[in-house]
Structure 1
Amino acid sequence: MNTLGILHFDAFLLACIALNLTPGLDTFYILTRSGREGRGVGMAAALGINAGCIVHTLAAVLGISAILMTSALAFSVLKYLGAAYLVWIGLRMLVARSGARQPTVTRGMGLAAAFRQGMLTNVLNPKVALFFLAFLPQFVSMQAAHPQLGLLVLGLSFIGTGTMWSMVLALLGGHIHRLLTTRPRFGQWMDRVCGTVLLGFGVKLALQGRH
C-alpha cells in the first residue's frame, strides 16, 4: 500500500459501506427493476450501475472528471442528458400498458437492456463523477510513487462493496416480484409510484448545481 499512497484503508472501507447503505437513486432503481421484472433483471441493472462506477473511477484516475469541476458547460451537458434519461424512463413506466410489463418480456434482451439502462443512469450523473473525484483522493497521498494506481485500487474497492450490496437489493427485489405476480393490480400502482419517483430524480438532477 505504501507505493500506492493509500491512507487509512480500513476507514475507507467503512465509509464505502456506509455510503452504499445510504438509499439513493441506485437503490431505488435496482429494487424497481428486480421488483417488477425479477431477480435476474435486477442483478443485470445492479451490474450496469457498478459498471458505470468503473467508468467514473477511470475518469477520476485519468483526470477527466476534473473537467466537470472546471467547465460549467461540460457539467451542464452531462447533467441535462442524465436528467432527460431519468425522465424518459419514468414516463415509460407511467404510460406503458400492463401487458408490456410482464416478466416474459424481460427474458434475454431484457437483461441487456437492464444492464445498459443501469449503466447510463450512473454514467450520465455528473454528481457521481464529482463524488469519485472528491472522495477517492482523500485516502491517497499524491506524493506516493504511484498515486493513480492507489486511486484505481480505492475505486475498485468501493465498487466491490457496492456490487455486493446491489446483489442483496436485487435478491430483495426478487421477493417483491414474487408478490407482484400474484397481485397484478398492486404492480400497476407500483409502476406509477416508481415512474413518478424517477421523474422526480430527473427533475432534481436537472436543478442541481456543481456544488
Structure 2
Amino acid sequence: MVSVEFLITSLVVVLIPGTGVLYTVSTGLFLGSRATVWASLGCTFGIVPSMLASITGLAIILHTSAIAFQVVKYAGVAYLLYLAWSMWRSSSALSLSEEKEPMSMVSVAVKGCLMNVLNPKLTIFFMAFLPQFVPAQATSPTSNMLLLGSIFMAMTFVVFLIYGALAALVRDHVINSERLTVGLQKLFAGSFAALGLKLALSDRSN
C-alpha cells in the first residue's frame, strides 16, 4: 500500500529544482519540446542505478567508504563542469530559422542520464528515503522499495516534462532576443558550475 505521505513527500522532493530540472529547462529553452522528452527520460533513467544500489545495499559502501564516495563524486563534479564549460563556450544568439548542428536526441538523453548516475548523493538519498515508507509488517521490503522507487521515477518524469514543456512554451520569445539568449546560456553554464562546486564541497553526511 502506497501512503499519501509518500506521494506528497516525493512530489515536494521532485519539484525542488536541482540538476535534472536545470538540465530539462535549459533543453526546453534551447532545443525545443521534443528534446525535452528525451532529456526527461535520460534524467529519470539516471535514477535507476542509485535506486537499485540503495535497495541492494551498495549505498552502504558509498556511505562508509570515503574512497568509493570520492571517486564517484569527483567524476560527477568533472561532468557538471564539462557541461558548464560546453554551454559557456557555445553561448551565442539562436534563431528558429537557423539549423545549427542538430543534437542527437539520444545524446540529449545520455547527458541527462549521466548527471544522475554520477551523483553519489542520490544513492544515499534513496537509502535514507525509501525505507521510511515501507510498512513494518511488509512481507517483502525489497518489493515494496522497488514499487516506491518506480513511483518516484514516474513522478520525476512527469514533473520534468512539465518543467521542460513550460520552458519550450517561452522558447520563441527567448530566441528572438540575442541578449537574452546569450545571457540565459551563460546563466545555465554558471548554474551547472555552481552545482558542480556544491557537489565537490559535499561529504557523505550532507
Both proteins in one fold, TM over 0.5: yes
- What residue in structure 1 maps to residue 90 of structure 2? 96
- What residue in structure 1 maps to residue 152 of structure 2? 158
- CA spacing shift, 1:12–1:186, aligned 2, 3 Å: same
- What residue in structure 1 maps to residue 180 of structure 2? 186
Name the amino acid aligned to 1:189.
G
More helix by share: 1
- What residue in structure 2 maps to residue 197 of structure 1? 191
Name the amino acid aligned to 1:198.
F
Cα distance per residue 1:70-100 (max 9 Å; x no partner) = 1111100000000000000001111125379
Name the amino acid aligned to 2:168.
G
Counterpart CA distance in 2 for 1:124 and 1:22 is: 19
Counterpart CA distance in 2 for 1:179 and 1:115 is: 25
Counterpart CA distance in 2 for 1:114 and 1:43 is: 9
- What residue in structure 1 maps to residue 69 of structure 2? 75
In the alignment, does 2:167 pair up with 1:173? Answer: yes
Counterpart CA distance in 2 for 1:174 and 1:68 is: 37
Identity %: 31
Unpaired segments ≥5 residues, structure 2: none
Q: Secondary structure at the match of 1:98?
A: coil
Question: Between Structure 1 and Structure 2, how many residues are aligned?
Answer: 204
**What TM-score, normalized by structure 1, do the two folds share?**
0.89
> What CA RMSD, in Å, does the superposition of the two structures yield over aligned residues?
2.0
Unpaired segments ≥5 residues, structure 1: 2-7
Write out aligned runs for 1:26-175 (5 A): 26-96=20-90, 98=92, 104-105=99-100, 107=102, 109-141=103-135, 144-175=138-169
User: Is this contact kept in 2: 1:56–1:129, CA < 8 A?
Assistant: yes
**What TM-score, normalized by structure 2, do the two folds share?**
0.91
User: Is this contact kept in 2: 1:41–1:106, CA < 8 A?
Assistant: no
- Post-superposition offset of 1:150: 0.7
Counterpart CA distance in 1 for 2:95 and 2:50 is: 31
Aligned structure 1 segments of 4 or more residues deviating by more than 3 angstroms: 99-107, 141-144
